[in-house]
Structure 1
Amino acid sequence: MPRPVLRHALFGLINFALTAPGIYLWIGLPLVMRQHGWSGAEIGVFQLAGLPAVFKLFLALPVQHWQPRRRPHVRWAWLTGGCYLVSLLALAALNIDSGKAALFVFTLSASLFATWADIPVNALAIQLFPPTERPLAGSIRSAVTFAGAIVGGGVMLLVEQALGWSAPFFLLAGFLVLALALLGFVDEGDAVPAPERVSPFAGWRSFFRETDARTWGMLLIAYYPPVAVAWIYLKPLLLDHGFAAGEVAWIAGIGGSVLGALTSLAAGFLPRQRLAAALPWSAAVNALAVALLAVAAAQGSSLWLLAATALLAIAMGVASALAFALMMEFARSGRHAADYGLQSSIFTFGRVVAAALAGWLLDRYGHPGMLGMFAALALLVCLLIGVRPRFGFVHVANRQCTSSSIS
């Protein structure tokens, strides 16, 4: 098998195992919570356990600057991934009736170490993949997120319904052990020093002095949250409209995720120079998908809900693939971890705040009102992108990644 294929397959498997537990926590568990009488506001507050991902820019600093001489990113991934594993096992020891505070604390711990482990893994991917492979790498990163959603947001729900609270956490912990073991096959080599040791604030300021980096930062905040929020609250929406829990798991958790994964992979075959040009079209599909789901929620038609779910999955697949690919493009040589952490923090900040706000809007205005407001936000983003149709991303073509190999 060609070496690039091995690279993509290996990092796809690692990212899948790191992602699936988090998706079960953020997308799967809201269904279980709703079944046990949690309100929309309580589910929204629970989403705040994902706040450590907002501070990824700070968590990236020790990964960037405190590096062992050999295999620095791999060693950081093993350390943080091991703590992630312990957090999942602690959650397995609890249950839905253990108390909301205890669940929140251990979910917060899992979120912290999942966020931290993501940094060295993806910094290593940026280091290993040459520029021509980055669009496909971004699409595979997005596709395995959907694959994680099939397991974390679908299969694990069926496992929980059949075997109880602890079973999904033990299975997901097993996937994580596999991921940590697979990292042993990555031949990273010696640490690559940053071109210049600068203060964190100076490094962040220099990032935003790059061409179009400020515009890209604004898009990271607002481009993805409308479809992300709709996806998070899709399962409670289907449940509230009379679908059984098992049907919801199959429709949204498995069917929607398969469609999103296939769409992500298709987006990966876009030419590298067309990534930015695809953003306006993706933003338009985002607005249409969320608006259609709002209409379907108001009408209550099962057929419209299924159609809206399919379109939302397509929108999510394209949006996440473009976001991951462009984040790789904007990560500067020698500052892979720091620049990835900064962009990911901006990206996550918009999603987490929007998810918490959506819970309050859901209790106050219902599903149609909440989704209608986020459809309006998606349309606004689409219009703002249209004001500046050309983005100067061509400058990233000359950036070079430090090459390494996979044994």
Structure 2
Amino acid sequence: MKSSYRWHQFVFGLLGLALAAPSVYLMLGLPLLMREQGWSGTEIGLFQLAGLPAVFKVVLALPVERWQPARWPYRRWTLLLGGAYLLALLALAAAGMETPKALLFVLILAGSVLATWTDIPVSALAIKMLPPSERTLAGGVRSAALFAAAIIGGGAMLLLEQALGWAAPFLAMSVLLLSALVLLGSLEETEGSQSGKPLPSRGRPGGFFRQPGAGPWVVLLLGYFPFVATAWVYLKPLLLDQGFPAPQVAWIAGIGGGSLGVLASLATARLVSREGLPYVLPLSVLGNVLVLGLLASAVWLEVGAAWLLAASGLLALAMGATSSLVFSLMMDFSRQYHQAVDYGIQASLFALGRLAVPPLAGVLLDIYHYPGMLLALTVAAFLVALLSGAQRFAVARWAGGQAAR
């Protein structure tokens, strides 16, 4: 039985990679190609809005949950939505940078909707089929798949595009997705030792916001990650504009940066205790301020390639640590028996903050250039650091209350 669960873990991990890699490529890889073609910072920032479906993940879950029984099990939902996503990737492969920008945005948006939607039955199927003893490993496999997607989508696919042209990455990722769907089709949808147990009542979204300390955490959730993440979005165009060839940018920011993010995330999860999370949070935000300030200074003072690469590496480490902490806190602050709805609310708020900042930063880039944009991100991160320090004890009391439940 254990070997079958390991096979299930592999299939779900492969599906997570196949769904995430194209999204990473579209959100973090294409900005490099856009800048290479002379797109403005505002245009690059506006295209980041194609990731908006992540904000409405709870809404996309409603039909999957309502029509899940008997005729529409999670596996069928996954195959149907995954097949539509495959068609969207093939449509993008047939397009190109010369495609009218409005049409290209629609194609990317369609892919984003389908990737977000397909992820819902995949996650539900993993929870259904894997027993509780396997779910910790499932979380680790999923996290590893996302980081692998960052390296593949943000680095390897860019190198493939530079070597073979626009269509090659989309065709390669289509083959990966098709392989994952074929493997999923071989699985039988069964209960993972949970059959016969009554399900707890569904959580209500309003209950999350009525918790003591919810207000400060929501504000921090909206502002904690977006500023360092926005700097990461514009890092590839920045390096390109600083004279680095596109293949070097893919290696530096995609593969190298993704690998540093993996190390920082794992180290943070290993070294920071659950009880210490609310206290480490202000230090992490302060670290983001320092990294953003260093990157802004490196660009403004034109200190040379070595310093710019060092600042880029520190930004990758900050991204990994920040994402590890925020996801840990999101899980910690989900009420018992209401984890799905509470995590969905927090994930939507997290995505809202992450998607709102890049378009504004793109406007600042066009007006004040990279130093001005990075300085604005630094100041905004500093304000969040002040807020996180002031609300540290409120968040800590909330975490303590959650642990006691």
Asked if Structure 1 and Structure 2 have the same fold, meaning a TM-score greater than 0.5 normalized by the shorter chain, the answer is: yes
State the match for 1:317 in structure 2: 320
State the match for 2:86 in structure 1: 85
- Structure 2 counterpart of 1:358, one-letter code: A
Taking structure 1 as reference, are residues 98 and 388 closer, same or farther at Cα in structure 2, changes over 3 Å only? closer
Taking structure 1 as reference, are residues 64 and 279 closer, same or farther at Cα in structure 2, changes over 3 Å only? farther
Are 2:179 and 1:178 aligned? yes
Taking structure 1 as reference, are residues 220 and 369 closer, same or farther at Cα in structure 2, changes over 3 Å only? same
Query: C-alpha separation between the residues in 2 aligned to 1:360 and 1:369?
Result: 11
Query: C-alpha separation between the residues in 1 aligned to 2:182 and 2:331?
Result: 25
Shift of 1:137: 6.5
Conserved? CA contact 1:64–1:337, under 8 Å = no
State the match for 1:207 in structure 2: 208
Query: C-alpha separation between the residues in 1 aligned to 2:259 and 2:170?
Result: 22
Taking structure 1 as reference, are residues 120 and 319 closer, same or farther at Cα in structure 2, changes over 3 Å only? farther
Query: C-alpha separation between the residues in 2 aligned to 1:64 and 1:330?
Result: 23
Conserved? CA contact 1:290–1:375, under 8 Å = yes
State the match for 1:380 in structure 2: 383
Conserved? CA contact 2:202–2:337, under 8 Å = no
Query: C-alpha separation between the residues in 1 aligned to 2:285 and 2:338?
Result: 29
Structure label with greater radius of gyration: 2
2:288 to 286, 289, 297: 286
**TM-score, normalised with respect to structure 2:** 0.87
Shift of 1:266: 2.0
Taking structure 1 as reference, are residues 208 and 160 closer, same or farther at Cα in structure 2, changes over 3 Å only? same
Paired residue secondary structure (2:275): helix
1:394 to 392, 400, 404: 400
Conserved? CA contact 1:283–1:381, under 8 Å = yes
Which deviates more, 180-189 or 39-48?
180-189
> Structure 1: 5+ residue runs without aligned partners?
400-407
Taking structure 1 as reference, are residues 307 and 5 closer, same or farther at Cα in structure 2, changes over 3 Å only? farther
Query: C-alpha separation between the residues in 1 aligned to 2:208 and 2:160?
Result: 44
Conserved? CA contact 1:22–1:114, under 8 Å = yes
State the match for 1:226 in structure 2: 227
Conserved? CA contact 2:298–2:311, under 8 Å = yes
Instruction: Identify which of structures 1 and 2 has the higher relative contact order when contacts are C-alpha pairs closer than 8 Å and 6+ apart.
Output: 1
Query: C-alpha separation between the residues in 1 aligned to 2:392 and 2:38?
Result: 46
State the match for 1:250 in structure 2: 251
State the match for 2:95 in structure 1: 94
Conserved? CA contact 2:261–2:316, under 8 Å = yes
Query: C-alpha separation between the residues in 2 aligned to 1:374 and 1:197?
Result: 39
**TM-score, normalised with respect to structure 1:** 0.86
State the match for 1:52 in structure 2: 53
Are 2:110 and 1:109 aligned? yes
Shift of 1:272: 3.3
Conserved? CA contact 2:228–2:319, under 8 Å = yes
Taking structure 1 as reference, are residues 162 and 192 closer, same or farther at Cα in structure 2, changes over 3 Å only? farther
Taking structure 1 as reference, are residues 210 and 11 closer, same or farther at Cα in structure 2, changes over 3 Å only? farther
Paired residue secondary structure (1:97): coil
> Structure 2: 5+ residue runs without aligned partners?
none
Taking structure 1 as reference, are residues 138 and 316 closer, same or farther at Cα in structure 2, changes over 3 Å only? farther
Taking structure 1 as reference, are residues 245 and 71 closer, same or farther at Cα in structure 2, changes over 3 Å only? same
Deviations 1:139-166 (A, max 9, x none): 7655533321211111111111111111
Shift of 1:85: 1.6
Taking structure 1 as reference, are residues 196 and 6 closer, same or farther at Cα in structure 2, changes over 3 Å only? same
Q: CA RMSD, aligned part only?
A: 3.0
1:2-401 alignment to 2 at 5 Å?
11-69=12-70, 72-123=73-124, 141-183=142-184, 185=187, 189=191, 195-196=200-201, 203-269=204-270, 270-300=272-302, 301-332=304-335, 335-390=338-393, 391=396, 392-397=398-403
Shift of 1:177: 2.4
Taking structure 1 as reference, are residues 266 and 214 closer, same or farther at Cα in structure 2, changes over 3 Å only? same
Taking structure 1 as reference, are residues 145 and 71 closer, same or farther at Cα in structure 2, changes over 3 Å only? same
